[in-house]
Every structure is written in C-alpha cells, then in structure tokens.
Amino acid sequence: MRGNSQWLKFAIAGLVLVSLAACKSSEDAEAQTDEMGSEMGSAGTSTSAAQASGAGTSGRLTQEQIQAENALRQTVFYFDFDVAEFKPEDRETLTFHARDLASNPSKRLRLEGHADERGTREYNLALGERRANSILNYLIVNGASRSQIEVVSYGEERPAMTGQSQSVYNRNRRVEVVAR
C-alpha cells in the first residue's frame, strides 16, 4: 500500500537521522511533549500511525512521528470569543488529524462543538455547530472523508467548567474530538 511504503521511507530516513543526531532528537521530543502537555485530552487517538511506522526501527521515533503522535493526542481545540474559525496555531495539529483519518479510512471521529454561556442559548447552539464545521471542513480539505466525521453541537449546555470568569469562558469555547 502506498501509505506503508511512504512510512517505510520515513523510517529509513529517520534511522539515518537518529544515528547521526541521537542526543538532539531526544531533547526535541522532550520539549515537544512539555509544550503539548497542557493541551492533551484524556482519551486521544493514539499511536497506531506511529506504531505502524516505528516497527522495524530501533524503537525510536522520528521527529515527524513524534509530532504526529502529539498532535493526535490534542483532542480539544479552543476558540476566541465571538469567533467560529479555529485558531491559526492549531492548523498544523489539525493537519495531522486529517492525515491520520486519510490513512485510516475505517477510523471514525465525532466533533462536538461548544460555546460559552454568554448570549442566547439557541444562537450558542448554532455557534457550536459552526465551530465544529470549521474543523470539519479543514479536515476534509486535507484528506479526511466526510463519512468518517460526525458533527454535533451542545451549545452552552455542556460546559467544561462553570463560573463567570474569563478563564472559565475560555475553556468552554471549544470543539472536542471524540473517537467513535
């Protein structure tokens, strides 16, 4: 399969890189894990892509594989107030999600859209859907199939946290990626 041979090439290239710069790549991996630590959701799609590629190497992963693994562990995406488009800094992570779906056609996801409590409830229901759709559209454009992704909005009805502070509101404006 095309997918496998590409990963194999990566693995070989990675082996070469790893043997040439062993110390540096492990430092990078640690730094990335720290950065992503606060963003990680609990369940997370996991290491199937990395495992598929990692087999056959010495067990160490390439930088790209580590990036992919970390990206797939991010399952919550936050939004700015009054905004329905995902943040530019999430673009790369979402690309990994799209590629993961593209290489695993049997994989299924659900995008759950949310809003903070301000404003009317029905508008927030629509806003949550718009946020989920903004991620849906990006995933499809980048390789995912429409049939792999379900979209639902909970508006302000299922907050991650309760309260009226900015930090609470920030945590509630989100789209959650749930494996199905």
116, 154 in Cβ contact below 8 A?
A: no
123, 88 in Cβ contact below 8 A?
A: no
Calculate the CA dihedral of residues 135, 36, 41, 171 and round it to 10 degrees: -70
Q: Which window, 3-11, 46-54, 91-99, 119-127, contacts other proteins (CB under 8 A)?
A: 119-127
Size of the site for other proteins (CB under 8 A): 27
Q: In the complex, what is the shortest distance from the CB of residue 176 to other proteins, in angstroms, rounded to a whole number?
A: 10
Interface pattern 41-70 for other proteins (x via CB under 8 A): ------------------------------
- In angstroms, what CA-CA distances link 77 with 4, 5, 50, 132, 135? 29, 32, 22, 10, 9
Q: Nearer Cβ to other proteins, position 49 or 84?
A: 84
- Give the footprint of other proteins on residues 79-108 (CB under 8 A): 81-82
Among the listed residues 68, 109, 125, 136, the single contact to other proteins using CB under 8 A: 125
- Give the footprint of other proteins on residues 127-146 (CB under 8 A): 127, 129-130
Q: Nearer Cβ to other proteins, position 89 or 122?
A: 122
Q: In the complex, what is the shortest distance from the CB of residue 162 to other proteins, in angstroms, rounded to a whole number?
A: 5
Report CA 91 to chain centroid distance, whole Å.
9
Among the listed residues 24, 37, 123, 179, the single contact to other proteins using CB under 8 A: 123
Q: In the complex, what is the shortest distance from the CB of residue 77 to other proteins, in angstroms, rounded to a whole number?
A: 16
Alpha-carbon span 176 to 78, nearest angstrom? 9
Neighbours of 93 (CB within 10 A): 22
Six token digits for residue 31: 């730094």
> Residue 112: which H helix or E strand, with range?
strand 109-114
Q: In the complex, what is the shortest distance from the CB of residue 135 to other proteins, in angstroms, rounded to a whole number?
A: 15
| Contacting residues toward other proteins, per CB under 8 A | 81-82, 117-123, 125-127, 129-130, 151-155, 157-164
